[in-house]
Amino acid sequence: AYNFNPGPAALPLEVLQQAQEQFVEYNGIGMSLMEISHRSKEYEAINAQTQELLLELLGLKSGYKVLFMGGGASTQFATIPLNFLKPGKVGSYIITGSFSEKAYEEGKVVGEAVIAASNKEGKWRSLPKAEDIQIDPNSAYVHMTTNNTIEGSQFSYIPETGDIPLIGDMTSGILSRPLDASKYAMIYAGAQKNLGPAGVTVAVIRDDLLAEEPKHLPVMLRYSTHAKNSSLYNTPPVHSIYMVNLMLNWVKNNGGVAEMEKRNVEKSKLVYDVIDASGGFYNGNIDPDSRSIMNITFRLPSEELEKKFVKESEQNNFVGLAGHRSVGGIRASAYNPVPYEACKALAEFMVDFQKRNG
235 annotated to a ligand binding site: yes
What Cα–Cα distance (Å) separates residue 129 from each residue in 13, 118, 126, 155? 39, 10, 9, 9
Q: How far is the CB of 145 from ligand PLP (least distance, A)?
A: 5
Which residues, other chains included, contact 94 with Cβ-Cβ below 8 Å and sequence gap of 6+? Answer: 100, 115, 116, 117, 118, 128, 133, 142, 143, 144, 145, 159
* CA 287 – CA 304 distance, rounded (Å): 24
Q: Which of 5, 51, 139, 145 binds ligand PLP (CB under 6 A)?
A: 145
Closer residue to ligand PLP in complex, CB, 195/209: 195
Q: Is 167 in the site for ligand PLP (CB under 6 A)?
A: no
Min. distance of Cβ 258 from ligand PLP in angstroms? 23
Distance CA 344, CA 73 (A): 31
Distance in Å, CB of 312 to ligand PLP, minimum: 26
Quote the CA–CA distance of 202 and 357 in Å, as a whole number.
44
* 249 labeled part of a ligand binding site: no
For ligand PLP, the closer CB: 93 or 99 = 99
Cβ proximity of 156 and 109 under 8 Å: no
Known binding residue 125? Answer is no
| Binds ligand PLP by CB under 6 A, chosen from 73, 117, 140, 227 | 73
CB 181 to ligand PLP: min, Å: 17
Whose CB is nearest to ligand PLP?
Answer: 72
DSSP state of 31: S
- Number of residues assigned to the chain: 358
Tell me how far apart the alpha carbons of residues 36 and 39 are, in angstroms, rounded to a whole number.
Answer: 8
Is 74 annotated in a binding site? The answer is yes
Q: Fill in the per-residue mask, 168 to 197: x = in contact with ligand PLP (CB under 6 A), - = not in contact.
A: -x-xx-----------------x-------
Q: Give me the half-sphere count of Cα atoms (radius 13 Å) on the Cβ side of residue 200.
A: 24
Q: For 175-242, give the secondary structure using H, E and C.
A: CCCCCCHHHCCEEEEECCCCCCCCCCEEEEEEHHHHCCCCCCCCHHHCHHHHHHCCCCCCCCCHHHHH
CB of 307 to ligand PLP, least distance (A): 23
| Among 337, 317, 259, CA closest to 16 | 337
> Is 169 annotated in some ligand binding site?
yes
Bridge partners of 203, per DSSP, are 67, 188
**CA separation for the pair 143, 168 (Å, rounded):** 6
Task: Choose, by CB under 6 A, the member of 22, 74, 316, 357 that binds ligand PLP.
Answer: 74
Q: Which is nearer to ligand PLP, 73 or 243 (CB)?
A: 73
Positions 313 through 342 that interact with ligand PLP (CB under 6 A): none
Counting residues that bind ligand PLP (by CB under 6 A) gives 11
Q: Which of the stretches 86-94, 127-135, 165-173, 176-184 binds ligand PLP when contact is defined by CB under 6 A? A: 165-173
| Separation of alpha carbons 91 and 136, rounded Å | 9
By CB under 6 A, name the binding residues for ligand PLP: 7, 72-74, 99, 145, 149, 169, 171-172, 190
Provide the annotated binding site: 39, 73-74, 99, 149, 169, 192, 234-235
Provide the annotated binding site for L-glutamate: 39
Provide the annotated binding site for pyridoxal 5'-phosphate: 73-74, 99, 149, 169, 192, 234-235
